Amino acid sequence: MKTEEQNTTQAKYSVLLYYIYSPIDNVVEYRDIHHQFCLDNHLLGRIIIAPEGLNGTVSGLVEDCDKYMKWIKSDPRFAKVDFKVEQSETHTFKKLYVKIKKEIVHSELPVDPLIQTGKHLEPEDFKQLIKNDPNVVLVDMRSNYEHSVGRFKGAVTFDMENLRELPEHMHEIEHLKDKKVITYCTGGIKCEKASAYLLSQGFTDVYQLHGGIIKYGLEEGGEDFDGKCYVFDNRLTTEVNKVNPVVISKCHICGTTCDRMVNCANPDCNEHVPICEKCGVEMQGACSIECKENPRKRFYDGTGYYAKTTEGYKPEIAFRTRKNTKNLQIVEELGLV
């Protein structure tokens, strides 16, 4: 099994993916401290701080990411956090956002993973179980555009935009209540609440892939994961399967085999679809003629990635000096100010 340190020895930059459910009472103060640490150590990415815990994906120089991991774990609340560490030649983010939200993954599911959740399977155990137990069913808890470019062989998938829609799809797996159900997602975070929700709905033998697709790829080579894994940084996808890889997606424009994911250049659309390089150039990053002709279409630089812009969000300004921001609204709603 690879350690966090071993994963970061061969490249100039690291990409970290992590979450932890651990109560945070001082979210306002901690948000400021966390944000300043990232600024001081040249880290970029998206970090969510909520009363229930932390969720982040961060990129930076190897030494800066090592320092960040040690700093997080030095806090007793987060000592058990599990970092998934990938290698990169550059930053995989263009900006830094450290935000306060109600949940570390938006689900609105009436469950608490600190009270009940599915049994955690380490990647090695997961691999053996899906190979040797015919009573196992894999259930993908990610959004439709994510599993369209990559998923485990034979997995059940839902046509949902986000985890909030899971209750609307429960009828699709109602007949699986007598099976061993293993949920999976990118890094494991969605499964904490998704598996808990399945248990609340009468499923009795529920598991989840600990660390998600990314950890499985890093530690077990990603066998039987078809396609690529969608990620929320400027790579858009990352390779997982080093054993028996295949491409399962096709170009949205011409239909050729393609696993190159693109965000439509039209911000009014912003669909996540596979588009080959040739069509990407010809369509200027748009997914249709209508989107190509939209006057608000963004400049296509060949990547199909567009950094999220947030009005009024300036990392260099302390949180408490900003007014009328979404952060402040959420904090007020939570009764924390």
Q: How many domains does the chain have?
A: 3
User: What pLDDT does residue 92 have?
Assistant: 94
The pLDDT of 89-105, averaged and rounded, is 94
99 lies in the same domain as 166: no
- Residue range 28-44: average pLDDT? 96
23 and 70 co-located in one domain:
yes
Q: Are 56 and 48 in contact (CB under 8 A)?
A: yes
Show the domain range for 12.
Answer: 6-104+315-333
- The CATH number of residue 81's host domain is 3.30.70.100
* 198 in a structural domain: yes
Interatomic CA distance for residues 177 and 205, integer angstroms: 8
Question: Do 269 and 243 touch, CB atoms closer than 8 A?
Answer: no
Catalytic residue among 38, 185, 191, 264: 185
Asked if residue 199 belongs to a domain, the reply is yes
- Let me know how many helices (H) and strands (E) the chain has, helices first: 9, 15
Q: Is the pLDDT of residue 328 over 90?
A: no
pLDDT above 60 (res 5): no
Query: Has residue 116 got a pLDDT over 90?
Result: yes
Q: Is the pLDDT reported for residue 331 higher than 60? A: no
**Does residue 31 sit in the same domain as residue 82?**
yes
Q: Is residue 237 part of a domain?
A: no
Q: The domain spanning residue 199 has which CATH number?
A: 3.40.250.10
> What's the pLDDT tens digit per position in 65-85?
999 999 999 999 999 999 999
Is 146 among the domain residues?
yes
244 domain residue, yes or no: no
pLDDT above 80 for 322: no
Residue 229 annotated to the active site:
no
- End-to-end alpha carbon distance in the chain: 44
Q: Is residue 232 part of a domain?
A: no
- Mean model confidence pLDDT for the chain: 90
| Domain-located, residue 236 | no
